Chains A and B, each alone.
Chain A
Amino acid sequence: DARVTQTPRHKVTEMGQEVTMRCQPILGHNTVFWYRQTMMQGLELLAYFRNRAPLDDSGMPKDRFSAEMPDATLATLKIQPSEPRDSAVYFCASGSGTSQETQYFGPGTRLLVL
């Protein structure tokens, strides 16, 4: 049963610290998405990769957030420095890249910045 995995599942950190979240997409999927979920904003798309290349990161605060895919089996989302307003659940999803693809979501990383 192929699944998207995310680590860590929970992270508590202090303001100003660096946070790195990791995602392993489903093997064979060539698109990866990062979403943020908060009560106020709902689900927001932060970044989108296809074949490891960033296709759209317009939803991401550029000054402190960065997203990369070092290889096809790993995607990372980094926040440096973190702020309390970054507290949210961050989801990674992967897809097959077809025009009507289904996105498969990971369990999320719940981040709390104190």
Chain B
Amino acid sequence: GNSVTQMEGPVTLSEEAFLTINCTYTATGYPSLFWYVQYPGEGLQLLLKATKADDKGSNKGFEATYRKETTSFHLEKGSVQVSDSAVYFCALIQQIKAAGNKLTFGGGTRVLVKP
């Protein structure tokens, strides 16, 4: 079946540091890949997505590139802010005819940015 593996947290950084969160996946075919972010006390919000190999998703200074050869979708940001402190979830969606679209999440990575 499908699975998503992401690095365990917490990741603690200083403001303006470079952030990388690794994400690898297992799936048949060509899933779409997503990064969701969850701020404290809130629901998940879509951060960015990529729907085919070599696509780069970007939003709010975050980027991730769909690498089919390494089955990865690593999240990066060049200079983090305190407001980026959150839990980040990597996910994939694959359409299964009989069962519709199923979103598979990684375990989440907590990021804490200190001033």
On A, residues with C-beta under 8 Å from B are 4, 31, 33, 42-43, 45, 48, 50, 55-56, 91, 93, 95, 97, 99-108
- C-alpha spacing A33/B36, complex, angstroms: 16
Interface contact A45-B100, CB-CB below 8 Å: no
Interface contact A105-B95, CB-CB below 8 Å: no
In the complex, which residues of chain A have a beta carbon less than 8 angstroms from the beta carbon of B46? 102-104
Interface contact A99-B95, CB-CB below 8 Å: yes
A55's partner among B44, B89, B99 (CB-CB below 8 A) is B99
7 A-B pairs with CB atoms under 8 Å apart are A55-B99, A56-B99, A100-B32, A101-B93, A101-B101, A106-B43, A108-B42
Please classify how large the interface on chain B is, using the bins under 10, 10 to 19, 20 to 34, 35 or more: 20 to 34
Task: Count contacts between A and B, CB distance < 8 Å.
Answer: 50
Interface contact A43-B89, CB-CB below 8 Å: yes
Interface contact A56-B43, CB-CB below 8 Å: no
- What residue of chain A has the Cβ atom nearest to residue B49's Cβ? A102
Interface contact A48-B93, CB-CB below 8 Å: no
- C-alpha spacing A4/B45, complex, angstroms: 11
Dominant SS among interface residues on chain B: strand
- C-alpha spacing A55/B46, complex, angstroms: 23
Interface contact A31-B103, CB-CB below 8 Å: no
A91's partner among B43, B95, B100, B108 (CB-CB below 8 A) is B43
- Give chain A nearest CB distance to B21 CB in angstroms: 15
- C-alpha spacing A31/B45, complex, angstroms: 17
- C-alpha spacing A79/B99, complex, angstroms: 24
- Give chain B nearest CB distance to A22 CB in angstroms: 15
- C-alpha spacing A108/B40, complex, angstroms: 12
- What residue of chain B has the Cβ atom nearest to residue A56's Cβ? B99
Most chain A beta-carbon neighbours within 10 Å: one of B32, B42, B95, B103: B103
- Give chain B nearest CB distance to A98 CB in angstroms: 8
- What residue of chain A has the Cβ atom nearest to residue B44's Cβ? A105
- Give chain A nearest CB distance to B93 CB in angstroms: 7
- Give chain B nearest CB distance to A15 CB in angstroms: 25
Interface contact A56-B32, CB-CB below 8 Å: no
